[in-house]
Amino acid sequence: MSSATVGIEVFDVDLTAAMSVAFNDHQYDYVVAPLVHPRFVRDVNAHNAIGGFTRSDTLLGSSQWNNQVLGTTSSWLELDALDEPLRVRSEAAFKQEIAWAAHLGLSAVIIPPPREPAVNYARCVARALAGLHYLRLLVRIPLVASPPLSGEGATAGGGGPVLDGDVSWRWWNQMRVLCDHHKNLYPALELTADLPSDPAVLERWCGEPVQVLILPTSIFLANRHGFPVLSKAHQAFVLRMSNHRVQYVVSGVARSDKGGMASYAEYMRHLLQRDPAKAQAGDAFDAPYRDVLQAPLQPLQDNLESQTYETFERDPVKYDLYEEAVRKALLARFPDASVTVVLMVVGAGRGPLVRAAFRAASAAKRTLRVYAVEKNPNAVVTLMAQKESLAQWRDSVTVVSADMRTWQAPELADILVSELLGSFGDNESSPECLDGAQKFLKPDGISIPRSYVSFVAPITSHRLHNEVRAMGGDAKHFETPYVVKLHNVKLLAPPQPCFTFVHPTPQPANNDRFGSLTFRVDCDALLHGFAGYFDATLYDDVHCSIEPSTHSPAMFSWFPLFFPLRSPTLVTAGAPLTVSFWRRTDGHRMYYEWAVTAPFVTSIHNPGGRSYYIGL
């Protein structure tokens, strides 16, 4: 989002006058207004009454309706009323108002909180969504539910201890599940004076597709000059959410603060401009990739393109780590500086690891004889060009155009350097490739990387799951892991180690793996799948990691993996969540299978690699 968009909720009968004040006097960007003003009397069941139930659509141009107005539905609607005539009348009015908003070309309508039971309300929303193409429905959800009126919702939350803010989140969760996770349904989150005491409960909204943040004037404090400001805690949450392309709506009347309604808009713009997240390094690179699912590379089947090499070579951190690892290995294992160390780069690509090795040798004052082995003939062209143009390469680099698994090396290597790791460590067949290359490593030779561990964490992410659904609803899309910059995501527990590979390893190696992990999730949430990471030991204490707690700073070469679940399922805070992962190989293919066995049981995903595999 280029700059903050701040709207204001108005209730005036004269919409154009209210808009004039909001835009010109108070500097808001848009208004939120009732689709039908209560003063318009109507009988929704009488066909001949239609036509006079609200303002004319010609009041504004269609671009204004689209950009400057969000609608709200009438406050008298009771879609779950036990009184049947009231319920039937409410259903008809709700349908009429949503149809009217679609007719006007509004971008969104904010609909009321689905206080329990809200099941017939959800049916009306599902019915409305089925007929909409463009209009979004935003469900108003208070951050913390106010105590129920006259006993309604008294049993909300079901069994177990109810955390702050769990009740209202459950309203949202029930609504979106009943509506089958519809892509045009979003929460409009209304801040409350009290924030949930549990940070996990607040953080949970980072995994939900929040589109609008509603800021009641009543939650603002007055600063020493009398102007409205938010508490530190509210500021922190607003800034956290600003990273998720939300819009803002100020709601309520100006309090005794100075500056009237204009001061709220001014404050919000001020607050959002100093957003520190915007200034973070890497953001510019990340932004277009956030929550965009990519199929994992098939490096053994496909040759990378020049642009892909270029992107990865630009990582400012990764090759420094390799250089440091090679330097430490040279110093520790080759004390005699007069010996020429045989170093083989397997999967040399366009040469970044060769260059890193030479930098390391130079720093360690050691001499190298380098073999650069590469199966992609296009990259070999680049390697040969460097050998011709660079004196250092001309003297000591042998470029080999071959698959490392079948190449017959003329001598054995002291050090074998590779960069075959995928987001999940072993998921681009590094183990199989290095098993093949290991035969030309001396018995006491060094593999860089020395080892790697994959990590798994349970996540909630309405958005990522819907991205998978958008591929067509076919089960196979839910049985594929995706490379994705996790953004509109909440981790439900810290990642745990899953599979470990060490190189060199006794041959023939068994690269099948099986692991069961048990997590304690930190809040009630809809489990959408699992995040996958890796942490590699290049040499000694030199790590290359994308596991969040040890992530190599500023390294951007890898995004995590997302392993979806076919059916998002509720998990509850504190209850053990057990998932099993398998890595399976059959000589031609490598694939993962995964299944949850507690607190619920899923089918085994991707059995036999039926939906996704890496060709070997």
Our finding on whether 333 is near a copy of itself (CB under 8 A) is: no
CB of 86 to a copy of itself, least distance (A): 13
Residues 200-259 that bind a copy of itself (CB under 8 A): none
Catalytic residue, chosen from 428, 479, 547, 593, is 428
CB of 178 to a copy of itself, least distance (A): 5
Catalytic residue, chosen from 323, 419, 547, 593, is 419
Our finding on whether 120 is near a copy of itself (CB under 8 A) is: yes
Our finding on whether 178 is near a copy of itself (CB under 8 A) is: yes
CB of 293 to a copy of itself, least distance (A): 22
Strands (E), 17-135: 30-34, 69-72, 108-111
Cα 536 to Cα 99, 325, 437, 485: the distances in Å are: 55, 12, 18, 19
Sequence-separated contacts (24+) of 406-412 with Cβ below 8 Å:
406/436, 407/373, 407/440, 409/344, 409/371, 409/439, 409/440, 411/342, 411/440, 412/342, 412/440, 412/441, 412/442, 412/445
Which amino acid makes up residue 476?
A: K
Q: Which helix (H) or strand (E) holds 330?
A: helix 318-333
CA 325 centroid distance within chain: 32
Choices 299-307, 309-317, 361-369, 566-574 (CB under 8 A): range interacting with a copy of itself = 566-574
Pair of tokens at residue 384: 């040969």
Tell which residue, 220, 226, 224, has the closest CA to residue 264.
Answer: 220
Nearer to a copy of itself by Cβ, of 173 and 376: the residue is 173
CB of 481 to a copy of itself, least distance (A): 17
CA–CA distance, 490 with 410 (Å, rounded to integer): 51
Our finding on whether 496 is near a copy of itself (CB under 8 A) is: no
Tell which residue, 497, 487, 481, 592, has the closest CA to residue 535.
Answer: 497
Our finding on whether 181 is near a copy of itself (CB under 8 A) is: yes
CB of 125 to a copy of itself, least distance (A): 10
Which member of 119, 222, 233, 471 binds a copy of itself (CB under 8 A)? 119
Our finding on whether 471 is near a copy of itself (CB under 8 A) is: no
Nearer to a copy of itself by Cβ, of 369 and 520: the residue is 520
Choices 20-28, 54-62, 403-411, 592-600 (CB under 8 A): range interacting with a copy of itself = 592-600
Tell which residue, 551, 424, 546, has the closest CA to residue 482.
Answer: 424
Our finding on whether 612 is near a copy of itself (CB under 8 A) is: no
Q: Which residues contact 145 (CB under 8 A, 6 or more apart)?
A: 113, 115, 153, 156, 165, 167, 168, 171
Tell which residue, 354, 508, 365, 515, has the closest CA to residue 425.
Answer: 515
Q: Which helix (H) or strand (E) holds 577?
A: strand 576-585
Strands of the sheet containing 576-585, edge to edge, are 513-520, 576-585, 589-598, 614-615
CA–CA distance, 28 with 402 (Å, rounded to integer): 64
Our finding on whether 580 is near a copy of itself (CB under 8 A) is: yes
Tell which residue, 405, 426, 403, has the closest CA to residue 584.
Answer: 426
Which member of 130, 154, 337, 554 binds a copy of itself (CB under 8 A)? 130
Which member of 582, 592, 612, 613 binds a copy of itself (CB under 8 A)? 582
| Count of residues of this chain found to bind a copy of itself when the rule CB under 8 A is applied | 43
Our finding on whether 158 is near a copy of itself (CB under 8 A) is: yes
Nearer to a copy of itself by Cβ, of 38 and 576: the residue is 576
Choices 321-329, 342-350, 388-396, 575-583 (CB under 8 A): range interacting with a copy of itself = 575-583
CA–CA distance, 350 with 380 (Å, rounded to integer): 7
Radius of gyration of the chain (CA): 29
CB of 122 to a copy of itself, least distance (A): 7
Which amino acid makes up residue 295?
A: A
Contact pattern from residue 512 through residue 551 relative to a copy of itself, giving x for each residue in contact according to CB under 8 A and a dash for the rest = x-x-x-----------------------------------
Residue 208 known to be catalytic: no
Which member of 10, 33, 35, 87 binds a copy of itself (CB under 8 A)? 87
CA–CA distance, 488 with 241 (Å, rounded to integer): 10
Pair of tokens at residue 318: 């990764």
Cα 258 to Cα 221, 272, 399: the distances in Å are: 11, 20, 74
Our finding on whether 610 is near a copy of itself (CB under 8 A) is: yes
Residues 430-449 that bind a copy of itself (CB under 8 A): none
Our finding on whether 511 is near a copy of itself (CB under 8 A) is: no
CB of 603 to a copy of itself, least distance (A): 4
Nearer to a copy of itself by Cβ, of 28 and 172: the residue is 172
Which member of 198, 497, 607, 616 binds a copy of itself (CB under 8 A)? 607
Residue 313 known to be catalytic: no
**519 phi and psi, to 5 degrees?**
-110, 155
Our finding on whether 173 is near a copy of itself (CB under 8 A) is: yes
Contact pattern from residue 43 through residue 62 relative to a copy of itself, giving x for each residue in contact according to CB under 8 A and a dash for the rest = --------------------
CB of 166 to a copy of itself, least distance (A): 15
CB of 137 to a copy of itself, least distance (A): 14
Nearer to a copy of itself by Cβ, of 119 and 221: the residue is 119
CB of 614 to a copy of itself, least distance (A): 18
Our finding on whether 589 is near a copy of itself (CB under 8 A) is: no
Q: Which helix (H) or strand (E) holds 310?
A: helix 306-313
CB of 491 to a copy of itself, least distance (A): 23
Tell which residue, 165, 210, 203, has the closest CA to residue 185.
Answer: 210
> What is residue 24's DSSP assignment?
I
SS3 assignment for 485-497: ECCCCEECCCCEE
Choices 52-60, 293-301, 462-470, 564-572 (CB under 8 A): range interacting with a copy of itself = 564-572
> What residues act catalytically?
419, 428
Positions in the binding site for a copy of itself (CB under 8 A)? 84, 87-88, 117, 119-120, 122-123, 126-127, 130, 158-159, 173-174, 177-181, 510, 512, 514, 516, 567, 569-570, 575, 580, 582, 593, 595, 597-604, 607-608, 610
